[in-house]
Amino acid sequence: MDNASTTPVDPSVAEVIHNYFIKIFGNASSIHRFGREAREAVENSRQVVAKAIYAEEQEIIFTSGGTEADNLALKGIAFSDKYEGKHIITSVIEHSAILKTAKFLEKQGFEVTYLPVDREGLVSVDDVKTAIRTDTVLISVMHANNEIGTVQPLEEISKLTRANNIMLHTDAVQSIGKLNVDVNKLGIDLLSMSSHKIHGPKGAGALYIRKGTSIEPLLHGGGHEYNLRSGTENVPGIVGFAKAMELATTDLDKKASQMARLRDKIIDNVLERIDGSYLNGHRTKRLPNNANFRFDQINGEALILDLDMNGISASTGSACGSHADEPSHVLLALGLTNNEAEGSLRLTLSTETREDDVDYVLEVLPKSVIKLRALHPNLTEQ
Ligand code: PLP
C-alpha cells in the first residue's frame, strides 16, 4: 500500500537487466562488439521510452531518476535562458526535487513565484495567468501529486505557456503508468520520469526535452546523451527502465480502471465505515492508485506502525516526508492544520494490487483507528 514510494522490480524486468550486467556488459561508447551491443540496447530503450510518451527518440535524455531529471529541467532552462529572463513559476505542492532546486535558483539571482493550491490541491489556471511576467522563462507544475494524487490542468496551463513563449516542465514521476501521458496533447516542453515507481530498477529515469529546446547540462564530461548528461550510460538501468515503461503503458486503460476500482472501494468504505474520516485531495481529478485520508483524533505515525504490525505498509506522506518531523508541506498547502496533517494516511496501489489486499486493508484499518482512539482518548479534537 506504499507503491508511490517505490515498487518491486517486475520479474521480467529483472531478467532483462541481469543479462546486461554479465553478458552484454560493454561500455556503450566502445566501438568493439561489446560496446556496439550496449549502444544498440541504449538506443532501443530510448525508442521505447519515447514512444510511451508520444515523443521522438532524440528527445529523451537518460538520467539517474526523477530527482536528476527535475534538476536538469529547472537549472538547465534557467541557466540557458538567463539573459531572456530570471523569473520562474512553480507550485507550493511540488516534490522537494523541484522546491529545493527552485530555492537554489533563488540564491543564484532568479525570482520564483510559488502558486498556491485550493483545498483539493488544484493549481488555478487564473493564478498562472496572473503570475506570468515578461521575464518568465519557465513554468514547472507537476502532473500528479505524490502525496494526494491530484492531477493538474496541464493542457490549460500549456495554452498560456505557448501563447507567452515560456517553457513548460512537468514532473510526471507519479503519473507515468497511471495516466496516459502524451507530451503533445499536454503541450509539455520538458517532462521528468523515474523507473522505480513503475516496477523498474532504482537509479534510472529520463528527462524528455522537446526538440529545439536550448538547455545547459548539469554534468560535463565525455558528452554522452547528446552532450546533455555526461557519464558512462547505466546500461542495465536504462534497459530495465525501458522494459518497465513498455509493461506499464501496455493496456494502460484496463490497468488504470482496475486500480481506480480498487481505489474507489477503499475510499468509499473508509469514508462510510470510519467516523471522523475525510479524503485529502480531489475526489475525481486524482491518480487511479492514490487514496489519502485524514482521521480525527489519530496520529498518522502511530497508525502506520499499527498497520505495519498487521503486515500493511503505508505512509503518512512522501517517503522522504515520513522521516521528517515537520508535517507535510502538501497537506498544509491544502489548508489543513498541523494536527490534521499529522492525522493523515496515504495508501497507494500498483498494477499488482489485488482485491484480497484491499479487503484485508478494509478489515484492519477501521479496527486500528478504533484501537488507537481508545488508547489516546485525549488526542486533541481536530
Ligand atoms: N518527483 C516525484 C513527484 C516523486 O514522487 C519522486 C519520488 O519520490 C521524485 C520526483 C524523485 O524521483 P527519484 O526517486 O527517481 O529521484
Distance CA 369, CA 11 (A): 36
Contact 197, 9 (CB under 8 A): no
Cell triple for residue 326?
515537520
Q: What is the pLDDT of residues 157-176, one digit of tens each?
A: 999 999 999 999 999 999 99
Cα of 26 from ligand 1 centre, angstroms: 29
With a 6 A CB cut-off, is 161 part of the ligand 1 pocket?
no
Q: What is the pLDDT of residues 108-152, one digit of tens each?
A: 999 999 999 999 999 999 999 999 999 999 999 999 999 999 999
Atom 5 of ligand 1, residue of closest alpha carbon:
146
Tell me the three state secondary structure of residue 359. helix
Cα of 299 from ligand 1 centre, angstroms: 25
Contact 365, 270 (CB under 8 A): yes
Mean pLDDT for the stretch of residues 265-292: 98
Does residue 360 surpass a pLDDT of 60?
yes
Which of the four pLDDT bands, split at 50, 70 and 90, describes residue 380? low
With a 6 A CB cut-off, is 13 part of the ligand 1 pocket?
no
**What are the two backbone dihedrals, phi and then psi, of residue 346, each rounded to the nearest 5 degrees?**
-110, 130
Identify the CA nearest to 281 among candidates 272, 290, 268, 270. 290
Distance CA 86, CA 105 (A): 9
- Non-local CB neighbours of 376 within 8 Å, separated by 6+ positions: 297, 299, 302
Average pLDDT score, the chain: 95
The predicted structure's pLDDT at residue 382: 45
With a 6 A CB cut-off, is 67 part of the ligand 1 pocket?
yes
**Which residue among 74, 96, 194 is best mutated to probe the pocket of ligand 1, counting the most ligand atoms within 8 A of its Cβ?**
194
In sequence order, the β-bridge partners of residue 348 are 2, 290
- Non-local CB neighbours of 214 within 8 Å, separated by 6+ positions: 80, 81
With a 6 A CB cut-off, is 171 part of the ligand 1 pocket?
yes
Cβ neighbours, 10 Å, residue 283: 9
Q: What is the pLDDT of residues 293-343, one digit of tens each?
A: 999 999 999 999 999 999 999 998 655 544 556 899 999 999 999 999 999
Sign of CA dihedral 74, 75, 76, 79: positive
The predicted structure's pLDDT at residue 326: 83
Cα of 181 from ligand 1 centre, angstroms: 17
Cα of 43 from ligand 1 centre, angstroms: 24
With a 6 A CB cut-off, is 149 part of the ligand 1 pocket?
no
**Which residue among 197, 199, 348 is best mutated to probe the pocket of ligand 1, counting the most ligand atoms within 8 A of its Cβ?**
197
Cα of 311 from ligand 1 centre, angstroms: 25
In the chain, the domains with their CATH numbers are 11-249 (3.40.640.10), 252-375 (3.90.1150.10)
Q: Determine which one of 309, 320, 324, 370 is catalytic.
A: 320
Does residue 84 surpass a pLDDT of 90?
no
> 146, exposed or middle or buried, with CB in 10 Å at 0-12, 13-18, 19+?
buried
With a 6 A CB cut-off, is 201 part of the ligand 1 pocket?
no
The predicted structure's pLDDT at residue 316: 87
The predicted structure's pLDDT at residue 314: 97
With a 6 A CB cut-off, is 66 part of the ligand 1 pocket?
yes
Does residue 31 surpass a pLDDT of 50?
yes
Cα of 366 from ligand 1 centre, angstroms: 30
Distance CA 165, CA 147 (A): 31
Q: What is the pLDDT of residues 48-75, one digit of tens each?
A: 999 999 999 999 999 999 999 999 999 9
With a 6 A CB cut-off, is 121 part of the ligand 1 pocket?
no
Contact 228, 58 (CB under 8 A): no
Contact 88, 105 (CB under 8 A): yes
Written as one letter, the residue type at 191 is: L
Contact 62, 225 (CB under 8 A): yes
The predicted structure's pLDDT at residue 54: 98
Does residue 82 surpass a pLDDT of 80?
no
Return the ligand 1 atom nearest residue 320 CA: 8
The predicted structure's pLDDT at residue 377: 75
Does residue 26 surpass a pLDDT of 90?
yes
With a 6 A CB cut-off, is 7 part of the ligand 1 pocket?
no
With a 6 A CB cut-off, is 194 part of the ligand 1 pocket?
yes
Cβ neighbours, 10 Å, residue 164: 13
Mean pLDDT for the stretch of residues 332-359: 96
Distance CA 334, CA 327 (A): 12
CA distances for 231 relative to 45, 48, 222, 226, 270, angstroms: 17, 21, 7, 11, 48
- Number of residues that this document lists for the chain: 382
Contact 65, 209 (CB under 8 A): no
Cα of 273 from ligand 1 centre, angstroms: 33
The predicted structure's pLDDT at residue 321: 46
Distance CA 88, CA 103 (A): 11
320 is catalytic: yes
Atom 13 of ligand 1, residue of closest alpha carbon:
66
